[in-house]
Each structure stands twice: as structure tokens, then as C-alpha cells.
Amino acid sequence: MNLVIAFILVPLAGMFLIPFLKVNGKGIAAFVLLLLNALISSYFAIQSLAGDAISFILPGSFVTGDIPVRIDALSGWFILIINLVFVTGGFYGLFYMKAYREQRNNLTLHSIAFVIQHASLLSICVIQNSFAFLVAWEIMALASFLVIIFEHEHITTIKAGINYLIQAHFSILFLMIGFIWVASKTGSYDFQAISAYSASIPESASFMLFIFFFIAFAIKAGFVPFHTWLPYAHPAAPSHVSGIMSGVIIKIGIFGILRMLLIVKTDLTSVGYLILIVSLVSGLYGVMLAIIQHNLKKLLAYHSIENIGIIGIGIGIGCIGLGNGNQVLATLGLAGALLHTLNHSLFKSLLFYTAGNVYQSTHTMDIEKLGGLVKRMPQTAALFLIAAIAICGIPPFNGFVSEFIIYIGLYNWLSDATLVALLAAIFSATGLTLIGGLAMLCFTKAFGVVFLGTERSCLPQTCKEVPFLQLLPMYLLASVILLIGVFPMAFISLLARPISLFTGDFSSAYNPVQIKVLEAIQPISWASWLLILLVISIFAIRRFVMSRHRISTGPTWGCGYTAATPKIQYTAGSFVRTYSKLFAPFLLIGKHEEEVHGIFPSGGKYHTHPYDKVEKWLIDDPLKLSKSFMGRFVFLNNGKLQFYILYGVLFVLAVLGIPLIYQTMRSFIDFLKLL
């Protein structure tokens, strides 16, 4: 209990301490407070993963009642992910935010919000009182809003923050509907009341209850079509915040879905097919839009949607396995989803941190203006490449392991599937394959255009590698990415207890994962080691041979052109030109060009502007219709005082007259009944 009190007091101490510190001390204090909370919560998380679930009651109020706090293996898994990403992101942020030292007040608010954001996320993982859960969810939403709008002097940042805040409250609205529904029937805010109530009502009603919760958490996770806030919030935030948002903020939506799968008793087969369909659409649509982006951070943001889709595919087939009594399918699907949650947190936060390095050195995120950065920022380029290979699901890195487990689950499903299940498995495997292939295209473009070739624009003279301490947390993330890739079973074994919460038996949850995955992954793990040794050997031989020769450097080869210029290189748009034409029906790309005239023309320009079709259909078009409708009543706002007085008189008459008319009608109806 003393540790719990310390956990609560740490963010409160930060709120009162940080404003009085000097600029250099604000970030350090925030990081120390964050580290303390991470250590306290990790202690409980490790206990829960070891099999010692923790449960206790916090005294509430006459409104909330008692507040149960339960830390099971699922909570423990997500707590460790949150802490790992926040600690590395907080350390990276200490150096990233040095460029903003003159903004004292902004740094104060940012540091406080950062600590509160971390504490609220951890609280969401353990609180099982719906009223207190909503409070923690709202605190998390507001803290995230504050860290997103750090550079609030830019209008695009403010718009992105408001967009996020509005959609975050749509999430809260659906959560409230679900919680109020149960509380009104049971009189309890305890999550156990949700479980008991959903088991006592018809299956169709419990399915609808789950839908409310699913929409709420799907908005936070960024599933299509609830994703439209994400491509704006991620690029607008500072890079360490972008990494944390993609690494753990959207994962809290995944946690919420998994938590409700444990609590709400409904038809898991139907739920599984629903999640599977939404996830396939999210994965494919996310990567399709990522490919055509020209802003590096926006490209990475759309890849978050893609990877949420991959996680959802694992959850979907896991639910179908639970619904059909197929323990192996359930275990493999959930294992793949939970491991990919960790994996995505690692390589996506690393990608955002490398993007932050690029931004600090070049002051732009426009891919079209970058190029040749591998010569100026070799370590950042190497770290970006490691994360890019991992996110594409290529061995020997971690992304391959989790995606391969999901593939094993899909192929296992094929062996005894009915016709509907067979079609679902085939489409899922095909979709997952397409996602992986398109991701490779996207990151080949991103790495090639940003880091290879020749500079496409005049970069600042200060463009150089960032300090080693800023690179240190990135090397830590890269090391864990490699460790999971070459020692997969060590991490997969940690998933046994979280999975047993769903399957109901620890031993039956562990054996299918251990046997099926071990049989498939062990040879691949050995092959990964051989690949690493081969690469090291080749570089060692090359270094030995080249040590005897004089090495000279020059400009990138111009493909045979004697008067080569940077403009003859592939741009981000031209690199994926064939893809854009092939998938044109699914994409929305605006074009702007200036015609070229004369025999020796100069100054011609051609720009493309990608946009989200779903956002246009679901947000832009309805807003235009509402504005058009409301515009018909503009004549009421005519600026004449006598009309405003008339409106007031009419309003008073309506307030007095409507009840009178209603009562008169009731009396008339009663009179007719007497006749």
C-alpha cells in the first residue's frame, strides 16, 4: 500500500515542483518522476506476470463507491510496454527539447503533462471502477492534448490538437454509454458487474454492449474508419511525444478491447469476425495511404494504423478460436497480437525518434526536400534502417516473429475450417501478405529518398549527427528489437499467463504456443543467427581488404549523366508513381502543376497532395452539408436590434405557449375518450 501511495504522490509532486525549477531542471525532474513511477508500477507488473495477481480496494466517495484496483497478467504486460517506451522517450526528449529552452512556460506545462500522461495510462491499466476509469481516461486525453500542442504558435498544430481532443471525447461518449447502461441496471460501477450483467442478458444485447466499448477503444487505437485524428496528431507533436503516442497511447485502445473481451460475455465468434474485418481494412488502408505521403512523420502515422490492423488480425483470429473451442488458434492469435503490440511500440517509437533527429538537423519533414543524409547522419540512418526492416516483418528482427506467429495461426485455422472460415482465413493471409509487401515498398521509398542519393535541396550547414546521448535510448530500442528477433521464445514464454486469462488454463495456454511456435520459429532463429554471422563476416572481410587500399569519396553516381543534378533523382511521388496509378480508385491525390513553355524552359513545377478518402466522406462532406444547411438561416443574423427583440419575444411566447398547447391537447383527447 505504501508503494501505491507513492505512485499517486509522484505526479502530484511533479505538478508543484517543476514550475519552480530552472529550464534545464524541468526535463530532468520530469524524467526522474517518470522513472520512479515506472519502477513502482513495474514491480507490480513483474509480480503479475510471475503469477501473483494483485488486487486491493481504494476508498472512493459516495459517488464512485469503492475503487477496485486489479493488476493481472494482461495489465502487467501493458504496464511494462508503457514504461519501456516512456522511459526511452523521456530520456530522448531531454535532448530533443533543448532546442526549445527559451520557451520556459511551455516547457513547464509540457513536463507536467508528460508525467501526468504516464501516470494516467498506468492507472487505466489497473482501475476497474467505471467512474474512476472515465476520470483517468479524461485525464489521459487532456494530458495528451497538452503535449501534442507544444508548438501551439503554429495553426496546424492547434488544429491537430483540437481534432484529437474532439475525437477523444467521442471515445469517452461511447464509454459512458456502455458504463451507464450497466450501472443503471446493476447499481454498481465495478467491472465485475459488467461481466455478471452481460452474462444474464440475451446474446444480441451483450453483443451490442461490446460494440459500444469496441467503438470507444477503436477510436483511441486508430482503427479505420475511426483513424482520422491520428495522421494529424502524430506529425504535430514533438518527436518524442509522437513516438510515445504511436508506441503506447494508441495501444491503450488495444488494451481496452482485450479487457472488454475478458469482461463482456458475448458470442466471441461473431466478435472475432467483426474485429478481423475491421483490422484487415485498417491494415491495408493504412499502408496504402502511407505510401503516398510526402511528410515523413505523417507516413509513419499511417503505418501506425497499418500495424494496429495487424494486431487486430491476431485478436480477431484469437476470438474466433475461443468461440469455436480451438485453443491452439486462440493462443496463437492472441500471442501474435500481444507480441506485436510490444514489437510495434519498439520499432515505431524508434522510427519517430530518428525522424526527430532528421527534423532537428534539416528543419523539414518534407521527403521531397531531403536526400543524402546517410553521409551526414550515418548512425541515424542505420537506426532508421533497422526499424524499417523490423516494421516490414523481415528477419532477423522482431516484427517478423509476431507476424509469423499470426501466419502460423492462420495456417492452423485452414486445417479444420468450414467454408466460411476457410474463406476468412484465405482472405486474412492474403491481406497480411499484401500489407507486408506494401510496407516494404513504402520504407524502400522512405529510406531511399531521405537517406540515399544526393541532397535535393540546400540543407543547413548545421545538418549533422545528433549527440551520442540522444542516440543512446535509440540504441537500446534497436537492441531489444534484435533480441526479440534472435531469442523469440524468451519473450513468447512471457505471454503464457496473459493468454491464460482468455483460455482459462495456464498449462493449456502455454503448451500450444510453446510447441507450435517453437517448431516453426526455432529453425528460423538459427537461420537468423547464421545471417547475422554472415553479414559480420562480409563486413570484416571487406574492412580487411579495403584497409590495403586508399579510399576516396565523391558525389553519388549520376547514372551516366555528365551534368547530373539532384533534380534527376527519384522523388517521393515518382518513386511510387506506378503504385499510385494502379490503386488510383482507392486513393485521393490532388495535383498542382505549372506549365512549361519555350524551347529552353525554366521553373516548371509539379506537386501532388495526398488526402484521405475516408476523412473526406465521413468528416469533410458531412461538415459541408451541415454548413450549407445552417447557411440558409444566415438571414436571421441581420444586425438589426428590433429583429433580435422580436426573436426574444417569440422565444418567450414559445416557452409559455408550448406547455399550454400541450395541456389543451391532452384535455381535448380526454374529452374525446369520455364521448
Is the pLDDT assigned to residue 51 strictly greater than 90?
no
CA–CA separation, 608 and 593 (whole Å): 9
Is the pLDDT assigned to residue 134 strictly greater than 90?
yes
With a CB cutoff of 8 Å and minimum separation 6, the contacts of 512 are: 327, 328, 331, 332
366 φ, ψ to 5°?
A: -75, 110
Mean pLDDT on 209-237: 93
Name the E strands within 9-155: 54-61, 65-71
CA–CA separation, 266 and 459 (whole Å): 57
Strands 54-61 and 65-71 turn out to be antiparallel
172-189 pLDDT tens trace: 999 999 999 999 999 889
Is the pLDDT assigned to residue 654 strictly greater than 90?
no
CA–CA separation, 126 and 128 (whole Å): 6
Confidence at residue 551, expressed as pLDDT on a 0 to 100 scale: 73
Confidence at residue 562, expressed as pLDDT on a 0 to 100 scale: 55
The residue ranges of every structural domain in the chain are 267-545+569-586, 634-674
In the structure, what pLDDT confidence band is assigned to residue 480 with cuts at 50, 70 and 90? very high
Confidence at residue 212, expressed as pLDDT on a 0 to 100 scale: 96
C-alpha cell of residue 404: 509469423
Percent over 70 (pLDDT), the chain: 92
Q: Is 266 helix (H, G, I), strand (E, B) or coil?
A: coil
Confidence at residue 98, expressed as pLDDT on a 0 to 100 scale: 87
In the structure, what pLDDT confidence band is assigned to residue 623 with cuts at 50, 70 and 90? confident
For residue 607, list its beta bridge partners. Answer: 592
Among the residue ranges 286-300, 489-503, 511-525, the one predicted with the least confidence is: 511-525
Is the pLDDT assigned to residue 393 strictly greater than 80?
yes
C-alpha cell of residue 665: 391537447
Confidence at residue 614, expressed as pLDDT on a 0 to 100 scale: 85
Q: Give the end-to-end CA distance of the chain in Å, rounded to a whole number.
A: 73
Is the pLDDT assigned to residue 674 strictly greater than 90?
no
Is the pLDDT assigned to residue 556 strictly greater than 70?
no
Confidence at residue 2, expressed as pLDDT on a 0 to 100 scale: 58
400-451 pLDDT tens trace: 999 999 999 998 888 777 888 899 999 999 999 999 999 999 999 999 999 9
Is the pLDDT assigned to residue 550 strictly greater than 80?
no
